[in-house]
């Protein structure tokens, strides 16, 4: 096997033979990530709680000749996560890449937020990343061949973006720090962990929250405040994850990659 430094540029993003799991992959960022990983040669298991949506995603990806399977799973439920990775071990023989993307962001202002609403966002966004990282990490350690865990956080982890997202920002801030601890503890096993922080990425969920928001700014006016101009697309995040999952990023771990068009600069 060639050393990384001896690989041609064309081979640095090649994921042939790699096995990947992407949570929350029925649409948006998760779907785009799964597509890019599969295009690079990985066999990808996509999961989501919505059966119809995840099966449709599998159908679309399979029609593109991607090697993909789907599984219905609640990313915040421990029993579901254990079943998910048991399936991965049995059907795929292991896992090399985990992308923790599952998340929710229902807008509710602090003074109106119930404890149940708070806990539900923490469960789906933070506990799911912990549970999946734990199960995937155990498999990767047993394999003895390293691995990559990419956690999708949010700019809300670094600064408030909109009113009503305190629970979301707290959960995503937790994801960033979970990533650092994971990277430190698993580094002896050659398992890397990296957080990706999307800025304004135009997804269905973002559109929904903007409509519900009391803010008067339109998509156009918000996009105009981003230095590179306009919202990003899910594929902007997908290409970043592809890089991080590949040999090109073999010496990157424990860090946070901001993909925001420069939004944090202003």
Positions annotated as catalytic residues are 168
**Count of CB atoms within 10 A of residue 3's CB?**
7
The kind and range of the H/E element at 56 are helix 51-63
Q: Distance between CA 263 and CA 80 in Å, rounded? A: 36
Q: How far apart are the first and last CA of the chain?
A: 46
Degrees to nearest 5, angle at CA 173 with 172 and 174:
85
Closest alpha carbon to 47 in 29, 66, 25: 25
3-state secondary structure 173-205: HHHHHHHHHHHHHHHHHCEEEEEEEECCECCHH
């Amino acid at each position: 096997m060639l050393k990384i430094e001896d690989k041609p540029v064309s081979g640095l993003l090649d994921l042939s033979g790699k096995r990947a799991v992407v949570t929350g992959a029925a649409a948006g960022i998760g779907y785009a990530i799964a597509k890019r990983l599969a295009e690079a040669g990985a066999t990808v298991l996509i999961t989501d709680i919505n059966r119809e949506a995840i099966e449709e995603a599998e159908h679309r990806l399979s029609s593109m000749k991607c090697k993909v399977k789907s599984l219905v799973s609640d990313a915040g439920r421990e029993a579901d996560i254990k079943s998910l990775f048991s399936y991965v071990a049995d059907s795929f023989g292991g896992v090399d890449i985990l992308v923790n993307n599952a998340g929710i962001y229902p807008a509710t202002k602090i003074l109106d937020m119930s404890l149940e609403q708070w806990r539900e966002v923490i469960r789906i966004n933070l506990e799911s990343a912990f549970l999946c990282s734990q199960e995937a990490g155990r498999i990767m350690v047993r394999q003895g061949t390293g691995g990559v865990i990419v956690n999708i956080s949010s700019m809300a982890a670094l600064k408030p973006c909109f009113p009503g997202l305190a629970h979301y920002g707290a959960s995503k801030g937790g994801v960033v720090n979970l990533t650092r601890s994971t990277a430190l503890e698993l580094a002896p096993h050659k398992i890397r962990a990296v957080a990706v922080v999307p800025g304004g990425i135009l997804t269905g969920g973002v559109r929904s929250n903007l409509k519900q928001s009391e803010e008067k700014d339109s998509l156009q006016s918000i996009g105009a405040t981003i230095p590179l101009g306009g919202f990003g697309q899910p594929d902007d995040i997908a290409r970043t994850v592809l890089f991080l999952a590949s040999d090109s990023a073999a010496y990157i771990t424990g860090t946070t990659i901001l993909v925001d068009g420069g939004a944090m600069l202003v």
